[in-house]
Structure 1
């Protein structure tokens, strides 16, 4: 095991603005991550502007803090050049790394520069050693693991890679795998893969089991996880090989940043110092106070679905005080388990968080009617709220009471970052040389980074008649570094003879040295810029309209496959909940003289190569590959069957197309995040004969490690003790307007929530045919065999020009859209545009 030091473990903090940035630096962050303008996964944060980059990086480097820019969204074809401009601005400003999701962008950055650091974002869905191996040609400096990886997974991955691993340890949890959630854009036109998550997971849902709504009491937020807080696990994570500890929260306050960073700084430093560390109850309460939906270890300690969420509220609550025991005329009586005082904010929780809740500030505290001064640590207490804050007639016995704010804590946190000069002091060492008749030469070394500057006296040294220069006096004068970030750590004096130096001259030399060392700190690092034209390979190709397009049916049951074999379908894909049934699927397809591809799970975890091997043993004609780990697993073998990359690889531009085709895939499926115009833009400069489009489906919205079957239909905690209710029942989630969204389980017990209404891209088939797209897929979910045959027939007629796309979606009563958004397309402009094909 490598030696653990302060330099080998990184604490990474979120910053959404200058105040948060100062709070992170002041409280001990080793690095920060932030967005610049629109290309990041938190577009609602204030973010920084491109012209601020140099100032931001100079400030960070002044304090030896690294700055990472988040470019962690999908980049569409028409955005690549703007993204390139931002990449080059980051290089020029000396940004320490870019955090990237888009594979095409990753490829482009490497074309621009061989040494500009790239971090693989959690939105890449990197969850296995194979996925990291896939990324090796792009020399990523750090990989951010999926939040679903547990401690055992992390240990396995670190044992199989030298790439440093970053893990989220605190903040909000996505219920869906990052990069695999399409809900926000499907329902609200705000894509999570574009930094616009609308938090559909925080909405209430009814659970429908076998067609009947299940009575859940006040549990309605069945997809809303608690917040991650892994501070107790810091020692275990370090020993598991984690190099970077990441805090979530670019939309949070500077007080939140100061609070969380300082706590995790202490936890890391205590471990490195060899001391046992367990956070105190007070420290946990302070973390809860800044922001908390309740705390959980997430999946780090393994799967425990019942502990992942509370289900009764979706928003930050703070510190739980207790329940109302009695309602008085002007006060409420509670038995508090946490300290409270005048001025604290409280809210009364009646179990209906979607309604207006009573709450405000504490005006007074009483015990048995007698006013109490100062902070009350616990016990029976009467809380007197502000007269205009709370209507006590709407407060009832049994209501839960939460402390939502603590002004005193906020003031204490604010003080940590109000005065910059108190942030950090860095040690410097000075060597002094000289003799009579020569200049005094001082060599100043910044001990933290090794920078050195040499400052000489302006005059020659003269012999001292009364008070010769001593080492003690020199240390006193050169050590007067107040107001700078430096402090004198060591001084070596190598001066021959008794010399005298005017104090004014020593002051000048000291000031000049400090200024030069600071300038060296703040100077941007110079990266290699190849000068390569990143778009030289992009060209429009003369397109030939496809005459005999291929129609593919993705089936999720043997009945559907059997029905498809009795149609003129060209290919069948099987996507079963249990891959153990794949052998039978192949037999049925082959018996009907149809070729069949088998789909891998969307997630690939350590220890799951057996699933991928089992797919090969079923002897399919092709494989539908859905994760980076699976791509690497199959392409590293000498297989003689086609590999088709699915939408979950998030291919959104021609560079990503080229990258995956170059890695051994025979065909790719674009991301569902592209609307029709964005799809056209990408197809116009891509190998369209190697692109497959999904033109009919129930959109897979959430894809999550959280199992609602286990949580709400069993008393178990995971697949080992849940009794497998998914084999006996079906669940749908009913939203606020009554739509029922089916929930299905895969071989890894992960859940996918599908959109209730099927959608059709049939209207755009004629345009895609003109672009040279040859492969079209229709996907089935719960349809019976008769419906499968009807849908296939409709799309075959549309592909052959025998019916319009409009008539298809109207006949099926489907929504008219491609992927998550219909987008816009000027058909006249499309016809006039010169489209070509390789």
Structure 2
């Protein structure tokens, strides 16, 4: 049976999910959660959440899906030990180093790989499974066919998102919020810059990065038929009423009971101009996006046909009731409906076709009105988890009372889990004996517990006396014992780990990353030590296959570079890698987990690129790798501490226009109104820009598979800070070139080479080339996170 998995940002949302039919919930704790602005659960609340959910045969998964620094690993492990001991069914994680330590220290705890791990290929899923992950949450960019291929060819359980907000970027690979505002999505503090307004190429103002929410209600059975294990609803930041409505609708859809009213309710509770199937059925182009408004739209109500002061007449296209909320579309003005008049008469509700007069300031004739809140829907949702008739779980009871032995109550749920309570034997009655009916009456007073007795078998002597307090005690204790057994507490294990220190006193070499042949030549001419060539296959770069192969043949310092996102052409890339290997090339820089698995199996010594989010030394040690590029979100102190704790080679990026995100959506073509099938390739061979409210321009470049790559408005450059850079003791500093010219690249490599040579002599003054580089970049430099880091 496929699992319906619901979000719960607080206890009210958890109840809403469970009581409306969720098979499992995922929650975040106050510690290490990727939704730090949700209500979240402290440790006592997590214990109570497990207790409540398990009573309803509902599983609980806890998210620890953030990147972890070295100094946080032990705390995170002990927190995981608490979760395991509290009976949590699985832990959802992002950090690959944390995964390694979990398998070593809590091998019995079920681990799910968060979508933040960016698993989007069969190889990646199988690698994670081999590393001890039971379930993988796939990237939301995959099609039904791509998901089906993975599901049919892996032993791992597959979880897919079926409803809720979408990131425009591949999750786990977005640095937009982090680098422009210091709030990291990888640390649970995303400021959602994708929901801001931008101007594309100084012409088109819109919410260019804001997708509609995903909905699969109408084709959920197609997803189920592929054999996925779990259907995930997004929304830990949403209200409990939202959770109730959406979970209820999906439960009905899975059981074949979905109605058009359910679909309308889901739309009313939250949508951004309708819904999208995202990439499940192929690219939707402009239809996927909510260009006009990034927030909840509600549902279309009608148009203003008359304005009388602060009151308006609306020709209704939908029902309107007192208590609803309405809004003027595009004006961010609205009001609660406190009264309605139809034909001059006060009414509680008005119907489609009526002209309803309501209070609404700021409206003009012809304005479009949306219903932003439906009072009846909210009331119905609240009733489902706070009303008098909320769902309870049937249990079976056996009551035993004989004068010759202790009095017992056994309770059992449908899964066969038992709770028991015992007290002293009954007494001989002085007057009236206790009747079977009275015993049953007291036992049935299950009150605030999640249970009711479907049947009670009473085995008793006829002439006995039992007080009401004794019977109530037995009922309470038996149910408490049942809840204890259902919770499946295991006890907390104290964990200790020791991270070795390695005494490193080295000056770095220079590594270059580029996708351009002319930059390879410039970098080698200027004296760099190694070049990683390839990457994202951007349209601004050459796509000449023979030219690419010749570069590897002719230069023994050049190694292939593979990007973090590879959805299309994976087989061709593997074939290409084997050809490069045949030239004697034995090293590669790779950001893609699935391709890493292939490369390492085929004899490459692989360095891990930014796609692996190396945030701690354990992440480097999790793989058989040569080393890796450390996260751009670590500051100098954190980088130095990480480097001290690993024997692997470490690479630190000190120059380049940092990539903020990769999107499978063609931002340029879609923003121009182009849909699924036809696109005039307006993005071809050129760099576009989106400009924010502060006037910062972020380059947007597409690749040959129509993915969009957005880069920082400023260029990271640490040439003034060679004292700090060289004292980190990293093996390499990385210069990442995008659209620089030959002369730009030559100057940059020369400047950093001179900086290292001078640092070796304890000279940290600026050479002419270093000064020239600073002058060239004047006003366009960022120090990234080197001196701030992220929380």
- In structure 2, the residue matched to 1:302 is 282
Q: Distance in 1 between matches of 2:720 and 2:43?
A: 40
Q: CA deviation at 1:598?
A: 2.2
Q: How does 1:758-777 map to 2 (within 5 A)?
A: 758-777=715-734
- In structure 2, the residue matched to 1:225 is 211
Query: In structure 2, do the counterparts of structure 1 residues 811 and 795 end up closer, same or farther at CA, with 3 Å as the change threshold?
Result: farther
SS of the residue aligned with 1:447? coil
Q: CA deviation at 1:437?
A: 5.8
Q: CA deviation at 1:715?
A: 3.2
Q: CA deviation at 1:645?
A: 0.8
Which sits farther off after the overlay, 726-735 or 486-495? 486-495
- In structure 1, the residue matched to 2:229 is 243
Q: Distance in 2 between matches of 1:674 and 1:732?
A: 27
- In structure 2, the residue matched to 1:401 is 369
Q: Distance in 1 between matches of 2:434 and 2:419?
A: 27
CA contact (8 A) 1:477 1:503 kept: no
- In structure 2, the residue matched to 1:391 is 362
CA contact (8 A) 1:589 1:596 kept: yes
SS of the residue aligned with 1:99? strand
- In structure 1, the residue matched to 2:482 is 520
- In structure 1, the residue matched to 2:650 is 691
SS of the residue aligned with 1:777? strand
SS of the residue aligned with 1:458? coil
Whether 1:813 and 2:790 are equivalent positions in the alignment is no
Q: CA deviation at 1:152?
A: 1.4
Q: How does 1:163-174 map to 2 (within 5 A)?
A: 163-174=156-167
Q: Which runs of 5+ in 2 are unaligned?
A: none
Whether 1:655 and 2:618 are equivalent positions in the alignment is yes
Q: CA deviation at 1:528?
A: 8.0
TM-score under structure 1 normalisation?
0.84
Q: Which runs of 5+ in 1 are unaligned?
A: 826-838
- In structure 2, the residue matched to 1:132 is 125
CA contact (8 A) 1:570 1:594 kept: no
Whether 1:671 and 2:631 are equivalent positions in the alignment is yes
Q: Distance in 2 between matches of 1:484 and 1:438?
A: 28
- In structure 2, the residue matched to 1:829 is none
- In structure 2, the residue matched to 1:835 is none
Q: What CA deviation, in whole Å up to 9, does each residue of 1:420-454 have, x standing for no partner?
A: x7433222234577989666766432223522537
Q: How does 1:625-644 map to 2 (within 5 A)?
A: 625-635=590-600, 637-639=601-603, 641-644=604-607
Whether 1:99 and 2:92 are equivalent positions in the alignment is yes
Which sits farther off after the overlay, 795-804 or 229-238? 795-804
Q: CA deviation at 1:170?
A: 2.0
Query: In structure 2, do the counterparts of structure 1 residues 461 and 110 end up closer, same or farther at CA, with 3 Å as the change threshold?
Result: farther
Q: Distance in 2 between matches of 1:84 and 1:805?
A: 45
- In structure 1, the residue matched to 2:563 is 601
Q: Distance in 2 between matches of 1:437 and 1:824?
A: 72
SS of the residue aligned with 2:511? strand
Q: How does 1:664-743 map to 2 (within 5 A)?
A: 664-687=624-647, 690-713=649-672, 715-717=674-676, 721-743=678-700
Whether 1:543 and 2:493 are equivalent positions in the alignment is no
Q: CA deviation at 1:716?
A: 3.8
Q: CA deviation at 1:589?
A: 5.7
TM-score under structure 2 normalisation?
0.89
Query: In structure 2, do the counterparts of structure 1 residues 238 and 542 end up closer, same or farther at CA, with 3 Å as the change threshold?
Result: same
Q: CA deviation at 1:494?
A: 7.6
Q: Distance in 2 between matches of 1:520 and 1:220?
A: 56
- In structure 1, the residue matched to 2:355 is 381
Which sits farther off after the overlay, 517-526 or 504-513? 504-513
Q: Distance in 2 between matches of 1:129 and 1:543?
A: 38
Q: How does 1:202-213 map to 2 (within 5 A)?
A: 202-208=195-201, 213=202
Match of 1:360 among 332, 335, 360: 335
SS of the residue aligned with 1:552? strand
Q: Distance in 2 between matches of 1:451 and 1:607?
A: 54
Q: CA deviation at 1:221?
A: 0.6
CA contact (8 A) 2:164 2:234 kept: yes
Q: Distance in 2 between matches of 1:752 and 1:519?
A: 56
Q: Distance in 2 between matches of 1:791 and 1:435?
A: 92
CA contact (8 A) 2:503 2:644 kept: no
- In structure 2, the residue matched to 1:831 is none
- In structure 2, the residue matched to 1:285 is 264
Q: Distance in 2 between matches of 1:377 and 1:475?
A: 50
Q: CA deviation at 1:666?
A: 1.4
CA contact (8 A) 2:658 2:711 kept: yes
Q: What CA deviation, in whole Å up to 9, does each residue of 1:780-837 have, x standing for no partner?
A: 1111111111111111111212774875663342666555453279xxxxxxxxxxxx
Q: What CA deviation, in whole Å up to 9, does each residue of 1:587-615 have, x standing for no partner?
A: 14654x45322222322348733333334
SS of the residue aligned with 2:320? coil
Count residues in correspondence.
Answer: 773
Q: How does 1:113-262 map to 2 (within 5 A)?
A: 113-208=106-201, 213-214=202-203, 216=204, 220-262=206-248
Whether 1:791 and 2:771 are equivalent positions in the alignment is no
Q: CA deviation at 1:135?
A: 1.4
Q: Distance in 2 between matches of 1:520 and 1:264?
A: 30
Q: CA deviation at 1:334?
A: 4.2
- In structure 2, the residue matched to 1:348 is 328
Q: How does 1:533-612 map to 2 (within 5 A)?
A: 533-534=496-497, 536=498, 538-546=499-507, 549-574=508-533, 575=535, 576-577=537-538, 581-588=544-551, 590-591=553-554, 593-605=555-567, 608-612=570-574
SS of the residue aligned with 2:518? helix
CA contact (8 A) 1:455 1:513 kept: no
Match of 1:416 among 384, 400, 420: 384
Q: CA deviation at 1:456?
A: 7.4
Match of 1:265 among 227, 231, 251: 251
Q: How does 1:431-450 map to 2 (within 5 A)?
A: 443-450=410-417
Q: Distance in 1 between matches of 2:568 and 2:465?
A: 66
Q: What CA deviation, in whole Å up to 9, does each residue of 1:232-265 have, x standing for no partner?
A: 2322221122222222222222222222222222
* TM-align CA RMSD: 3.3
Which sits farther off after the overlay, 95-104 or 761-770? 761-770
Q: Distance in 1 between matches of 2:249 and 2:765?
A: 58
Q: CA deviation at 1:301?
A: 2.3
- In structure 2, the residue matched to 1:320 is 300
CA contact (8 A) 1:697 1:778 kept: yes
Q: Distance in 2 between matches of 1:532 and 1:493?
A: 48
Query: In structure 2, do the counterparts of structure 1 residues 823 and 310 end up closer, same or farther at CA, with 3 Å as the change threshold?
Result: closer
Q: What CA deviation, in whole Å up to 9, does each residue of 1:605-645 have, x standing for no partner?
A: 4873333333433457332211211112222x232x33121
Q: CA deviation at 1:160?
A: 1.2
Query: In structure 2, do the counterparts of structure 1 residues 531 and 366 end up closer, same or farther at CA, with 3 Å as the change threshold?
Result: closer
Query: In structure 2, do the counterparts of structure 1 residues 467 and 81 end up closer, same or farther at CA, with 3 Å as the change threshold?
Result: closer
Q: Distance in 1 between matches of 2:713 and 2:435?
A: 85
SS of the residue aligned with 2:532? strand
Q: CA deviation at 1:172?
A: 1.5
Q: What CA deviation, in whole Å up to 9, does each residue of 1:654-697 have, x standing for no partner?
A: 111111xxx2221211121212222122112122x511111111
- In structure 1, the residue matched to 2:708 is 751
Q: Distance in 1 between matches of 2:704 and 2:463?
A: 79
Which sits farther off after the overlay, 520-529 or 192-201? 520-529
CA contact (8 A) 1:171 1:249 kept: yes
Q: How does 1:43-82 map to 2 (within 5 A)?
A: 43-82=36-75
- In structure 2, the residue matched to 1:830 is none
